[in-house]
């Protein structure tokens, strides 16, 4: 998925939006997630950011309008916005609203 383009409403594998990437990634492990970032933030139990582990979902902004996957070492993988490929970024790139362990 790394390097694939951002495509609004896409769930891969040729393109992704933020929640589509999370849904696709967890499906590779046999886990079904809801489709939207707002629903995905409630797809497990919340943990403090300081306890984040690889695979945890990181929701951004109070309305959970963006979501990423924690990969360790203070980094997430996400589909950021139109025109940008799936990439790694620092977990604190935007205000974190919650961390969910699936």
List, as own/partner pairs, every contact residues 47-53 make where C-beta atoms lie below 8 angstroms and the sequence separation is at least 24, other chains included: 47/99, 47/100, 47/101, 48/99, 49/91, 49/96, 49/99, 51/99, 52/91, 52/99, 53/101
Question: What is the reported pLDDT for 98?
Answer: 98
User: For residue range 24-44, what is the model confidence (pLDDT) as tens digits?
Assistant: 999 999 999 999 999 999 999
Question: What is the reported pLDDT for 9?
Answer: 95
Q: Which domains does the chain have, with CATH numbers?
A: 18-101 (3.90.1720.10)
**pTM of the prediction?**
0.96
User: For residue range 47-75, what is the model confidence (pLDDT) as tens digits?
Assistant: 999 999 999 999 999 999 999 999 999 99
Catalytically active residues, by annotation:
18, 66, 78
Question: What is the reported pLDDT for 52?
Answer: 98
């Amino acid at each position: 998925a790394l390097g694939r383009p951002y495509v609004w409403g896409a769930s891969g594998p040729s393109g992704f939006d933020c929640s589509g990437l999370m849904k696709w990634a967890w499906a590779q492990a046999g886990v079904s997630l809801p489709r939207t970032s707002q629903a995905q933030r409630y797809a497990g139990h919340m943990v403090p950011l300081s306890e984040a582990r690889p695979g945890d979902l990181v929701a951004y902004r109070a309305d959970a309008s963006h979501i990423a996957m924690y990969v360790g070492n203070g980094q997430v993988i996400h589909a950021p916005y139109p025109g940008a490929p799936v990439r790694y970024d620092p977990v604190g790139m935007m205000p974190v609203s919650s961390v969910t362990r699936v």
